[in-house]
A and B are shown apart, each in its own frame.
Chain A
């Protein structure tokens, strides 16, 4: 059974149709990279998956649970769907440890002592174990994003969404975050990444999705599709990104 099943969804902002009949099925352990120009709807699709944006048509199922069913408890759903944002969105008034353990403690009701071990564990995964008691403002952009990834990992989600997580970082810091993403992928996490990192998509992506004008314009196995784009639009996009 797919972890994420998107069927013919439609998303409008007023009269502007942002997602037009989009379908995508993601199996357990897949790493899907979503490419496209800004405004193509790729970030919006990601935000629909964990219910941050309501949809106007179609359906989304995560682990068999209908996201847009009014009976769906979004709070339960979101514990299964982690999302990491471009702008990190760490809580500046909380230490790294508290950023990571806030949701496990108050949503999943874990004991404080246990949650500190949890934080240490996920920080080890992103290589920042020594930052347990640091505050976000003392971290570099790359470190902040790694903490944000750790915060998401701490919920033990079934799928993780990454919304242009390296776009706010310079190349060096991008590299350290991509390395962490590799590690997360290698550990078997199901991942959907909106990104411009073609190299990452080629090496670690199972499939690549190219979105254009709110539709899935091209989709296929990562390496092949990137090497041989079938549509003129994708070819043009790739040559623009690679040059």
Chain B
């Protein structure tokens, strides 16, 4: 009852907040750009890393496992700061957007390695043998037998990982990338309606995540639909 009374007394006012919709759209576009770039780069890095971890020589497997261990056991925020604030000490100066994209790809790639590797390992030995027996080369077996076949089992896990990751991109606001989350503090400083601003932001993330879910599910049906 106290809470209800407090809500009434607070008196939500969304008008000023929503008047800044253009800022939200700009922020949303930045978040989308970052996410899509990280999905593409992270997937490529993940497939490459998984291929090395599954079929590569020992030393390369070790390199990939180390990369995965480092990334998965440190906060994304720390990785961002190392790249954005640390690298300039070596003379590598990146603008915040570039640093963010690099850090995100680096981060998502490590999680993707593990998912893709599990997919590769789920392919029975008999499939590889059938490929060999037909005279396919190693790379041909990888592409035509392993990769396409395992994608199917990977997509559900990858799409959850990607959506979870998209929500985590909010961390880039800490290096002054004007993503959706960063927009919130801009609008907040104009309107002083903190509660409303973060409710709106939460709503936008929610919708974005649901739309991505639909896109992934649609893509899955398009690629694998009709085959059980």
List A residues at the B interface (Cβ < 8 Å): 50, 52, 74-76, 78-79, 82-83, 85, 87, 89-94, 102-103, 106-107, 135, 137-138, 151, 155
Contacts and interface: CB of A to CB of B under 8 A. Distances in A.
Interface string B118-134: 00000010110110111
A93 B152 contact: yes
Contact of A93 (B134, B137, B148): B148
B135 A79 contact: yes
Contacts of A78: 132-135
Nearest to B137: A75
B135 A75 contact: yes
Q: Which of B129, B130, B149 has the most CB of A within 10 A?
A: B130
Contact of B136 (A83, A89, A107, A135): A107
A241 B135 CA distance: 35
Contacts, number: 61
Given A50-B133, A107-B135, A91 B149 contact: yes
Contacts of A75: 135-137
Q: Chain B at the A interface: mostly helix, strand, loop or mixed? A: helix
A162 to B, nearest CB: 12
A111 to B, nearest CB: 17
B127 A89 contact: yes
Nearest to A90: B130
A107 B133 CA distance: 12
Contacts of B133: 50, 52, 78, 82-83, 85
Contacts of A138: 228
A155 B130 CA distance: 13
Contact of A106 (B140, B148, B149): B140
A102 B129 contact: no
B227 interface: yes
B227 A135 contact: yes
Contacts of B130: 85, 89-91
Interface in B147-176: 148-149, 152
B145 interface: yes
